[in-house]
C-alpha cells in the first residue's frame, strides 16, 4: 500500500541538521511535500535549498534580506517571505511534520507555534526545551502534538525506552564522545582557539553545538533535555564518555538489562528515524562494521576539567528558572568565544556567575521564559565585558 504524501516544514533549513533533513527528503521525493524552509541570513543557501526540494515558501528571519531573497527566487514560483514573525507563521502553517532545527533560543517561539498545531514536531533545537521544557511539554500535551527527539542521544533513548512501563527503568545513560579536548590538560585548554573548538573528532555539526560539545555543556543541556522528554527523576540520568560514539545512549532496566541504540555517527540516522516514524526508511549512511570497530571504550567524565557538565547537573537538580539562565548565559558566552572575546575556560565561568547573580521564580509562560532569557543575556554580556582575555 502506498503511503499518503506528508507535508513537511524545515525550520533552520540552511544549518547542519536542516541540510541533512533535506538530503533525506530529496532521496524520497515522492513521499514528502515541502511547505516551507526557513533560515536566518543565509539567502543563497535558503534559495538553493528551496529550489532543490521544490518548497512552496522560503522564509528569511532577517527582514532586511527580503529583496535579496525575492531576487534569488525570481521565476521559480517559490514565495519569498521575510521577518521573525514570518518564521513563526511558517511553523504554525500546520505541516504534518516539522523539523525544529533553528539553533538557540531563537527557535523557541517557532517550536511553540509548531507544537500548538497538534501535529508531529521533530526536535533538534535542544535549547528551546532546556529553557522552556515545562511550558513546551504542557503545550504538546494540550494540542496532542507528538514530539520526536532528533538529538542522537535522545533519539536512541526514545528507541529503547518502554513508555508503557517507565517504572521498570532504573536509569538513562547518555553517552558523550568527550569532544576534542578529552585528553587536553587545563593549561592546553586555556589556549584553545575557536577553530580548534569547532573541529569535533567524530560529528560534523554547526559552530555553537560544536563548542558546547568541547566544553561538555552540550551533554549538560542534553541531561536537562532528557529530563523533559522521559518521565524519570533528575537523579536517574547519567553520562558516560564513549569516544567512538557508536552507542548513542542506553536505558537500564530494574532487572539489570541495558538496551542501547547503535549506529554510525551520522545525524541522518536519527533524523530518518523521526522522518519515517513509526515506519523506517533507508539511508545512505555508512553501516556499522562491528568487527572493524572491534572494541568500545567507556570512561567517567572529568567534572574538574569540564565544569560546565557539573554546573548543568546542579541546574537539573535545582530546576525552576535556572535552566533558562544556564542556556541564555551559555549562548552569550559561546558567541563571545567564537568572536575571540572570551577564553574557552571562561564559558562555564560566565554561566556560573550569571546563575549566582540572577534568581527569578520559575517561569509559567513563554513570555516569562523570554524575559528571563533577556535578563540573563544582559547579565552574561556585562560579565563577558569584565572578563579579560
Cβ atoms of residues 120 and 111 within 8 Å: no
For strands 258-262 and 247-253, give the pairing. antiparallel
CB closer to ligand NDP, 170 vs 244: 244
At closest approach, how far in Å is the CB of 9 from ligand NDP? 13
CB closer to ligand NDP, 13 vs 276: 13
Cβ atoms of residues 31 and 4 within 8 Å: no
List residues binding ligand NDP (CB under 6 A): 12-18, 39-42, 45, 61, 87, 101-103, 106, 124-127, 151, 203, 205-206, 208-209, 267
CB closer to ligand NDP, 268 vs 353: 268
CB closer to ligand NDP, 223 vs 353: 223
CB closer to ligand NDP, 338 vs 387: 338
At closest approach, how far in Å is the CB of 77 from ligand NDP? 22
Q: Does a cis peptide bond (omega within 30 degrees of 0) precede residue 23?
A: no
CB closer to ligand NDP, 39 vs 315: 39
For strands 146-149 and 97-100, give the pairing. unpaired
At closest approach, how far in Å is the CB of 332 from ligand NDP? 14
At closest approach, how far in Å is the CB of 96 from ligand NDP? 21
Which residue's beta carbon is nearest to the bound ligand NDP? 15
At closest approach, how far in Å is the CB of 206 from ligand NDP? 3
Report the alpha-carbon distance of residue 286 to residue 225 in Å, rounded.
28
Cβ atoms of residues 111 and 121 within 8 Å: yes
At closest approach, how far in Å is the CB of 185 from ligand NDP? 27
Q: What is the DSSP string of 262-310?
A: E--S-THHHHHHHHHTTS-----PPPP-HHHH-----B---TTT-HHHH
Residues β-bridged to residue 148: 122
Question: Mapping DSSP to helix (H, G, I), strand (E, B) and coil, where does residue 241 land?
Answer: strand
Amino acid at each position: 500500500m502506498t503511503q499518503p504524501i506528508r507535508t513537511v516544514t524545515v525550520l533552520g533549513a540552511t544549518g547542519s541538521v536542516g541540510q541533512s533533513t533535506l538530503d533525506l527528503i530529496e532521496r524520497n521525493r515522492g513521499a514528502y511535500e515541502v511547505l516551507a524552509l526557513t533560515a536566518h541570513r543565509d539567502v543563497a543557501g535558503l534559495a538553493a535549498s528551496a529550489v532543490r526540494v521544490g518548497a512552496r515558501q522560503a522564509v528569511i528571519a532577517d527582514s532586511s534580506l527580503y529583496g535579496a531573497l525575492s531576487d534569488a527566487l525570481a521565476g521559480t514560483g517559490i514565495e519569498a517571505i521575510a521577518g521573525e514573525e514570518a518564521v513563526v507563521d511558517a511553523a504554525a502553517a500546520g505541516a504534518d511534520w516539522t523539523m525544529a532545527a533553528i539553533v538557540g533560543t531563537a527557535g523557541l517561539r517557532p517550536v511553540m507555534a509548531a507544537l500548538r498545531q497538534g501535529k508531529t514536531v521533530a526536535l533538534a533545537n535542544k535549547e528551546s526545551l532546556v529553557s522552556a521544557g515545562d511550558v513546551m511539554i504542557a503545550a504538546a500535551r494540550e494540542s496532542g502534538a507528538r514530539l520526536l527527539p532528533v538529538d542522537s542521544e535522545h533519539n536512541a533513548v526514545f528507541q529503547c525506552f518502554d513508555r508503557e512501563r517507565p517504572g521498570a527503568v532504573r536509569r538513562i545513560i547518555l553517552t558523550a564522545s568527550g569532544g576534542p579536548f578529552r585528553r587536553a590538560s587545563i593549561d592546553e585548554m586555556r589556549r584553545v582557539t575557536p577553530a580548534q573548538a569547532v573541529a569535533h573528532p567524530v560529528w560534523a555539526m554547526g559552530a555553537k553545538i560544536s563548542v558546547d560539545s568541547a566544553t561538555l555543556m552540550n551533554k549538560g543541556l542534553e541531561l536537562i533535555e532528557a529530563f523533559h522528554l522521559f518521565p524519570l527523576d533528575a537523579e536517574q540520568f547519567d553520562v558516560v564518555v564513549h569516544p567512538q560514539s557508536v552507542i548513542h545512549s542506553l536505558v537500564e532496566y530494574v532487572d539489570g538489562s541495558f538496551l542501547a541504540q547503535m549506529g554510525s555517527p551520522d545525524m541522518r540516522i536519527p533524523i530518518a528515524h523521526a522522518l519515517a516514524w513509526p515506519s523506517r526508511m533507508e539511508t545512505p549512511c555508512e553501516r556499522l562494521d562491528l568487527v572493524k570497530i572491534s572494541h568500545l571504550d567507556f570512561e567517567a567524565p572529568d567534572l574538574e576539567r569540564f565544569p560546565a557538565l557539573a554546573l548543568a547537573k546542579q541546574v537539573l537538580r535545582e530546576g525552576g528558572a535556572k535552566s533558562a539562565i544556564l542556556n541564555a548565559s551559555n549562548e552569550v558566552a559561546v558567541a563571545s568565544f567564537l568572536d575571540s572575546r572570551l577564553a574557552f575556560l571562561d564559558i562555564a565561568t560566565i554561566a556560573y556567575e550569571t546563575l549566582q547573580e540572577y534568581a527569578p521564580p520559575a517561569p509559567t509562560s513563554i513570555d516569562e521564559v523570554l524575559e528571563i532569557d533577556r535578563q540573563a543575556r544582559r547579565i552574561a554580556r556585562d560579565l563577558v565585558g569584565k572578563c579579560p582575555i
